A and B are shown apart, each in its own frame.
Chain A
Amino acid sequence: MNASAQKLAFASISTVAESVRRKELSPVELVRASLDRIEAFDLKLNSFYTLFRDDVLAAARDAEAEIARGHYRGPLHGIPIGIKDIYECGPTTCGSKSLKDYVAAEDCMAVHKLKQAGALIVGKNATYEFAYGFPTTKSYFKPARNPWNLAYDAGGSSSGSGSSVSAGLVYASMGSCTGGSIRWPAQCCGIVGLKATYGRVSRAGVYPLAWSLDHTGPLARTVKDAALMLQGCAGYDPADPASANVPVPDFTARLGQPIKAMRIGLMRSVYEDNCDPKILGPFNVALGEFEKLGARIVDVPSITLTQMQAIEWPALFAETAAIHIDNVRHHGADYNPHAKLFVAYGLLISGACYLMAQRARAQVRDQLLEALARDVDVLILPTVGFPVSPVLDDSPGLSIVAEDFSVYTAIFNFTGFPAIQVPCGFDPDGLPVGLQIAGRPFDEATICQVAHAYEQATPWHDKHPSL
Chain B
Amino acid sequence: MFLIFQNKQMNSINNKEGGKINKTAYDIIKPKFTINNEKSKISVTANEGNFMNKNDILLKENVLFKSKDFTIYSDDVLYNKKKQTANSERDSIFVSEGTKIESEGFNIIENGNIIEFKGESKIILSK
Are both chains from one complex? no
